[in-house]
A and B are shown apart, each in its own frame.
Chain A
């Protein structure tokens, strides 16, 4: 392949690459929450806040993109800081329902605050100033932060909390602090992804921040698996580029993604890493499956009654 070919290829697939990189940030947002055992489904809501803030700022004040994106992250963190106290007190299904309905509230507001958000038609004409190399830098930075966090004491605390919240607390781990940290990192990443999204797509409409989007984010995160942060990134790249390498994907998009999610959850609990994990376990000789990837802190575990 010559340099020209490469250039041509990059041009053709520019939008897929941009989408994949942004989705990788979203997937990492979900990853951080899930790793800490917080079944937080609010990512799409915060993504919407980030996207709308960036979009409105850039349309109304012609502020540079990075300023609008930063403002989106700041506002999301403020909202998240208010939301986090009630939400983290909840367990299991309650937490999922609360965060899911937070997303529904954001979507309802985006649909109905016409003066601010443009209602169902959304915001049109946001300058598309974000380039692939910007996103590569952002993703590298995010990946580094998440990697460093999960490979440190923090990550071990998250694993402990996910496995058994009460035991972690009894060991002297400041559970609430670590959960707070995970929730806020997750919030900031989702808002960041939203802001970038606004400056890539030129258009944001409320319908993009719904159930379908959440399903996509979940597939990407879980396909990659939770064992390390490269998993969700790989998952995001695989799923986001599917329209390019899977013929007929666009027609049956939702159906395929939904089915993939079901299959991954049932048969690949560690994502694509499942076969390798199994091999490693066999090599180690033990048959301890380790902590469940999709456990929610504070829920009674199976067989523990």
Chain B
């Protein structure tokens, strides 16, 4: 029983981790808190849903296409909203407000195309396989979520530490001016950062939709707030921190249900966030914010 809850918590935490990693990437590299990530999460889930429902696309392909769509949408946001704002010297607060507005537009678009209905994937979208081992059951979707998360974590690590793009992103995170001086094409790097971030958000959205077999236009909202919690608890800019914090949030959710205070699990999580802001604002693994140039 306990182990089962542990598995459930880690699976839930994995989806948070995917989402928060994307959040964190844009925040770290460009100092943009992109609230619209939640809307991208939702819209990607809808893309996958419509692909499967209307065109009977196999789910692996739908997952891939929806992930790409999430990335493309985020690049669109960068080009239409964030880049003009940066060019006009918008402050980081102006960027946050703009992303709130953009998020609103995208969410109401999702509401429009879905008619505010809760959509379900057709039967047999995913193989109904289940593994049981010593009282712990793992459904196919859960296994899929875990595998994808591990792959994405390895991929992110490789990207940030082994690839030219990752180095460029890290330089931008240090200082955009210095990056420009070094001849890094900052515009292109920013676009790529947004693409990866949106793809991660989209991937999380599709996986969540498959996991609960429900896609609706408000599904992203709790993820935005919990994504905030994950990046604060983990420490701004820290990849390890975000992953650990996401797992903590997933486990806190599952275990507050076990303890019988499930209706207050959001209060528990945001209470945790507040305690961190009070006593350890740099999070578990964060650098000192004052040192950021």
Binding site for B on A (CB under 8 A): 39, 86, 89-94, 96-98, 100-102, 104-105, 108-109, 112, 210-212, 214-215, 218-219, 222, 252-255, 257-262, 265-267, 269, 292, 294-296, 299-303, 305
Shortest beta-carbon distance, B293 to chain A, in Å?
5
The 8 Å CB contact of B104, one of A93, A254, A301, is A254
Q: Contact between B267 and A257 (Cβ–Cβ < 8 Å)? A: no
Q: Contact between B175 and A305 (Cβ–Cβ < 8 Å)? A: yes
Q: Contact between B104 and A299 (Cβ–Cβ < 8 Å)? A: no
Which residue of B has the minimal Cβ distance to A258?
A: B104
The 8 Å CB contact of A211, one of B177, B221, B232, B267, is B221
Bound-state CA distance A254–B98 (Å) is: 14
The 8 Å CB contact of A112, one of B94, B232, B264, is B264
Shortest beta-carbon distance, A162 to chain B, in Å?
10
CB under 8 Å from chain A, chain B span 196-234: 221, 225, 228-229, 232
What total of chain B residues lie within 8 Å of the partner, measured CB to CB? 49
Q: Contact between A265 and B270 (Cβ–Cβ < 8 Å)? A: no
Residues on A with C-beta less than 8 A from B90 are 265-266, 269, 294
Which residue of B has the minimal Cβ distance to A305?
A: B293
The 8 Å CB contact of B101, one of A91, A96, A258, is A258
Which 7 A-B pairs rank lowest in CB-CB distance, beginning with the nearest?
A: A258-B104, A261-B101, A254-B108, A258-B105, A262-B101, A108-B266, A294-B94
Asked if B81 lies at the interface with its beta carbon under 8 angstroms from chain A, I say yes
Residues on A with C-beta less than 8 A from B175 are 305
4 more contacts with CB within 8 A, not counting A212-B104, A266-B81, are A86-B278, A254-B107, A294-B91, A294-B93
Q: Contact between A261 and B96 (Cβ–Cβ < 8 Å)? A: no
Q: Contact between A261 and B177 (Cβ–Cβ < 8 Å)? A: no
Q: Contact between A96 and B104 (Cβ–Cβ < 8 Å)? A: no
Q: Contact between A302 and B91 (Cβ–Cβ < 8 Å)? A: yes
Residues on B with C-beta less than 8 A from A215 are 100-101, 104
Bound-state CA distance A97–B271 (Å) is: 13
Which residue of B has the minimal Cβ distance to A215?
A: B104
Bound-state CA distance A217–B142 (Å) is: 40
Which residue of B has the minimal Cβ distance to A289?
A: B89
Bound-state CA distance A63–B232 (Å) is: 43
The 8 Å CB contact of B81, one of A93, A262, A269, is A262
Residues on B with C-beta less than 8 A from A300 are 292-293
Bound-state CA distance A219–B81 (Å) is: 16
In the complex, 14 of the A-B residue pairs with CB atoms within 8 angstroms, ordered by the A residue number, are A93-B92, A93-B96, A98-B277, A101-B225, A101-B228, A102-B270, A218-B97, A258-B100, A258-B102, A259-B101, A261-B98, A265-B101, A295-B91, A299-B92
Shortest beta-carbon distance, B190 to chain A, in Å?
15
Q: Contact between B277 and A266 (Cβ–Cβ < 8 Å)? A: no
Residues on B with C-beta less than 8 A from A112 are 263-264, 267
Residues on A with C-beta less than 8 A from B232 are 94, 97
Residues on B with C-beta less than 8 A from A210 are 221
The 8 Å CB contact of A266, one of B85, B111, B278, B281, is B85
Q: Contact between B108 and A98 (Cβ–Cβ < 8 Å)? A: no
Q: Are A255 and B105 CB-contacts (below 8 A) given A86-B278, A101-B274, A305-B293? A: yes
The 8 Å CB contact of B93, one of A90, A296, A305, is A296
Bound-state CA distance A299–B85 (Å) is: 17
Bound-state CA distance A253–B112 (Å) is: 11
Q: Contact between A255 and B104 (Cβ–Cβ < 8 Å)? A: yes
Interface centre among A97, A218, A259, A303 (most CB of B within 10 A): A97
Bound-state CA distance A89–B279 (Å) is: 11
Shortest beta-carbon distance, A69 to chain B, in Å?
26
Q: Are A296 and B92 CB-contacts (below 8 A) given A108-B270, A255-B109? A: yes
Q: Contact between B93 and A262 (Cβ–Cβ < 8 Å)? A: no
CB under 8 Å from chain A, chain B span 223-274: 225, 228-229, 232, 236, 263-264, 266-267, 270-271, 273-274
Q: Contact between A211 and B91 (Cβ–Cβ < 8 Å)? A: no
Residues on B with C-beta less than 8 A from A260 are 101
Q: Contact between A262 and B266 (Cβ–Cβ < 8 Å)? A: no
Bound-state CA distance A258–B77 (Å) is: 13
